[in-house]
Chains A and B, each alone.
Chain A
């Protein structure tokens, strides 16, 4: 599950641009449309991990309601990582698909 959450965060940042933690959590739950039971708190260690790997960067800024908040943004390395992991996922899905489809 760790890898999937990472990819979700990266993809969200790619499509929406810089986001604070709450914005990310909200967006991820919106897209999964309730299919994902997520304790929003678990997002933060994941963000730290991604930052340590150099895939995202963070910066303190002002939110739309003018509240100080920490914003996360995708880095170049993060962009590459998305490409890599997307490829992996697609291969895995394709592979699993062959097994799961009823034999003809």
Chain B
């Protein structure tokens, strides 16, 4: 070992070694020359003689150098070659081991890529660890806040080195010079100090300053992302000063940001940034939550103190804005808002809130899968070690040290692990693509899970770790033999079997126990998903296509209404289309609005903090989503223009506000507007069943449907088409119709209602599918492990079994004898696995819907599945044992 160390350090300090050797030689020559000089030789001749006696200096140095460094590496190369030869000679073993590991490592790499992209990868900005996000909760929406709130935080330079903000990334129209068709870009509005605060530099031109963001509509400027400039502008340096039409705003390009920067949000990639003052929304309106505030922390102030200070700032701000409305429902609601100071060095992300915990659980699950795979490979290696006893004994007697042999074994293990991780990477890339399919559109595309240095490092790390994990014990075991005894008994696998068999059985127990945890978790998640799927959303999602329309900016509400009327009339004539309607926001399009309400005559009227969900819908909306009003009628075109305003309520509304009323038709309700003032009274015309518009898990809220008017809100409605045609055939028909009316209007985000429903439970679908996959993988690996150990045990006992049969034991008895031997570790594994999975259940509980983590049915099923798989794996070797020919077996001995 010492030699190994010395030589390995020598490799790295070669230059110093050379210098020392030169000096040593020089001293030698000097001393000899001096000696000869004392004997009377002149210095020149003395020096020459010294050289002569020394012999070839260069040749010696070469030998010296070879000896010093290279042999260490050469030895490794030799070991690796030897290992590879061994692996090639034994393809079945190699395939089983490499495949086991590849599945384990691949699963880990795939999940880790997501963890890395969502939770670990730092933003490519200056000192990202100082960044925090001022995450707003309560009131309406979350994360995003108002511009006045941003300005408020900006005043606090004692807390923050810089406060900046950005809007959501919007897909907007972009007219480039060389294409006539409508193109889209991802645009963000940012504050003037955005780039400076992040420490992002310009590639060319300049970036924004606060002077570029002073007056509303006063700064028609744009900064491009490097990727956009390279991919869509061909890296044209003449882009500076050019005017681009973005979202129908003429913006002058002033610069291109540094390569690799795509904004601060994990699940979106900005193509370009415009000053916040260029936003068309009500920039300074405190109720307009459109900008996400971030800050650079002063390094000397701990985050706890920042949070405390932020709470105070928020309270003061809210009181100054909403203090006067303290008594209204709206006011209470608005005053309940909070600011969470969150670390934002890894970027901001809505997806992280929903997906962070499931990912962590999946990461733990794949960790277990890898452990099971390692146990398998260790098992295979031990079996192989037993058959290689003769080879090992031979090498011992030829003078190899144990360290040397263990090194040889570990290098072989490392080779297996590296082969496994290579194949695993391929699996991972394929798996990541599959996982991305689960993400709802809008977060999947920008999500960059391609393996970077961190991911590759992780893969290499776990493959080395697993090589040690599965390789060390077998290596120590295989080399702990008495060479003489091993050579004498011909290296047959019989000898020294006691401890070895025990260790292998312990591995099987561990495999089974870990499999129980994974299979139980898979069962629970599947159960939970099935429960979600069984919930009736209140509408028939089949055969409905939803989409939005993108109108030219200049269009007013009346233009949109006229266009929609023509589109609806045109589509009604298309054969196969049943009914068409629209609504805001539409099913599964980001929830609903919450509004304060007054219901005269209601028992709850005395309290004024009542709130309902409000939806704006068109005529035939309920027919289109496949349901009928329980009482009264739904809106007709007359309701859109009538001065007597109509409303439809759902059953939850009735239960909450008018209990005991069978038919609410004719009752009056009044909704608050966005500033908390009352609007015109609405007359109820119909009652509809509860519809889970918001999500399957949240249940139905009391809801008031009102006729949708363009211009009521700044959102365009979602269109819904029920048709017998499949979506793939329907969309071209809709596009054709749109083109006929006005090619300027584009169809965006087409998605069937079924898909939108699926998107809303993507986390549940993903975790159920993946945990199911990992559960099956665990079972498969455990089954291989059980089979391997049992088959080996039978082979070992062939002679004994033959003797028993010769002495008259019935085959069934033999079969049972072997089976019993295998059932013990399986039973033990299940016994250990059950409490483990109950403990794991506490972590998964929050992700389960409608099923408890200790669900007895799931646990019983898990046990049954494991016992069945275990039995099956053990049965084959047992059968083989029962079929042993006594004569053959005894001759074998």
Contacts and interface: CB of A to CB of B under 8 A. Distances in A.
A binds B: yes
Nearest to A77: B2
B53 to A, nearest CB: 6
Interface in A18-55: 20-22, 25, 39-42, 44-45, 48-49, 51-54
Given A39-B54, A45-B67, A54-B3, A69 B24 contact: yes
B182 interface: no
B55 A45 contact: no
Contact of A63 (B21, B25, B31, B64): B31
A68 interface: yes
Given A52-B3, A52-B7, A69-B24, A45 B31 contact: no
A11 interface: no
A49 B65 CA distance: 11
B20 interface: yes
B47 interface: no
Contact of B23 (A42, A54, A68): A68
A21 B67 contact: no
B56 interface: yes
A51 B31 CA distance: 23
Interface in B27-45: 27-28, 30-32, 34
B64 A69 contact: no
B528 to A, nearest CB: 63
B68 interface: yes
Interface in A43-87: 44-45, 48-49, 51-54, 63, 65, 67-70
B30 A70 contact: no
Given A40-B54, A44-B60, A70-B20, A20 B27 contact: yes
A68 B60 contact: no
Contacts of B57: 41
Contact of A39 (B3, B31, B55): B55
A49 to B, nearest CB: 6
Contacts of B32: 22, 40
A67 B54 contact: no
B27 A68 contact: yes
A60 B7 CA distance: 19
A25 to B, nearest CB: 7
B180 interface: no
Contacts of A67: 27, 30-31
Nearest to B64: A45
A51 B829 CA distance: 52
B262 to A, nearest CB: 54
B67 A40 contact: no
Contacts of A48: 64, 67-68
A49 B24 CA distance: 16
Nearest to A53: B3
A65 B32 CA distance: 13
Contacts of B59: 41
Contacts of A39: 53-56, 60
A67 to B, nearest CB: 6
B439 to A, nearest CB: 58
Contact of A44 (B2, B31, B53, B64): B64
Contacts of B661: none
Nearest to B32: A22
B63 interface: yes
B28 A40 contact: yes
A41 B23 contact: no
A45 B30 CA distance: 19
B27 A22 contact: yes
Contacts of A68: 23, 27
A70 B21 CA distance: 9
Query: Which of A48, A49, A51, A67 is most buried by chain B, counting CB atoms within 10 A of its CB?
Result: A48
Nearest to B57: A41
A39 B57 CA distance: 10
Contacts of B63: 45
Contacts of A53: 3
B60 A42 contact: yes
B235 interface: no
Interface in B11-27: 20-21, 23-25, 27
Nearest to B56: A41
A41 B55 contact: yes
B6 interface: yes
Contacts of A25: 28
A44 B55 contact: no
B17 to A, nearest CB: 9
Contacts of A41: 25, 54-57, 59-60
Nearest to B21: A44
A66 to B, nearest CB: 12
Nearest to B27: A69
A65 B60 CA distance: 26
A45 to B, nearest CB: 5
A45 B27 contact: no
Nearest to B66: A45
A70 B31 CA distance: 13
Given A39-B54, A39-B55, A54-B3, A45 B24 contact: no
B55 A40 contact: yes
B46 to A, nearest CB: 14
A22 B28 CA distance: 5
Contacts of A69: 24, 27, 31
Interface string A1-31: 0000000000000000000111001000000
Contact of B24 (A42, A51, A65, A70): A70
Interface centre among A25, A41, A44, A49 (most CB of B within 10 A): A41
Contacts of A51: 6
Nearest to B17: A48
Contacts of A45: 60, 63-64, 67
A54 B3 CA distance: 7
B645 to A, nearest CB: 96
A10 to B, nearest CB: 17
A13 B53 CA distance: 22
B588 to A, nearest CB: 72
Contacts of B53: 39-40
Contacts of B60: 39, 41-42, 44-45
B346 to A, nearest CB: 48
* Most A Cβ at <10 Å: residue of B24, B30, B32, B56: B24
A42 B67 contact: no
A49 B7 CA distance: 11
A41 B50 CA distance: 11
Nearest to A51: B6
A53 B2 CA distance: 8
A81 to B, nearest CB: 14
B54 A21 contact: no
Interface in B111-155: none
A69 B34 CA distance: 15
B54 to A, nearest CB: 5
12 contacts: A40-B28, A41-B54, A41-B57, A41-B59, A44-B25, A44-B64, A65-B34, A67-B27, A69-B24, A69-B31, A70-B23, A70-B27
Interface of A: 20-22, 25, 39-42, 44-45, 48-49, 51-54, 63, 65, 67-70
Given A40-B32, A44-B60, A48-B67, 16 more contacts: A22-B27, A41-B25, A41-B55, A41-B59, A44-B21, A44-B25, A44-B64, A45-B63, A45-B67, A49-B67, A52-B6, A53-B3, A63-B31, A67-B27, A68-B23, A70-B27
Nearest first, the 8 closest Cβ-Cβ pairs linking A and B are: A39-B55, A41-B60, A41-B55, A22-B28, A22-B31, A45-B63, A69-B27, A41-B54
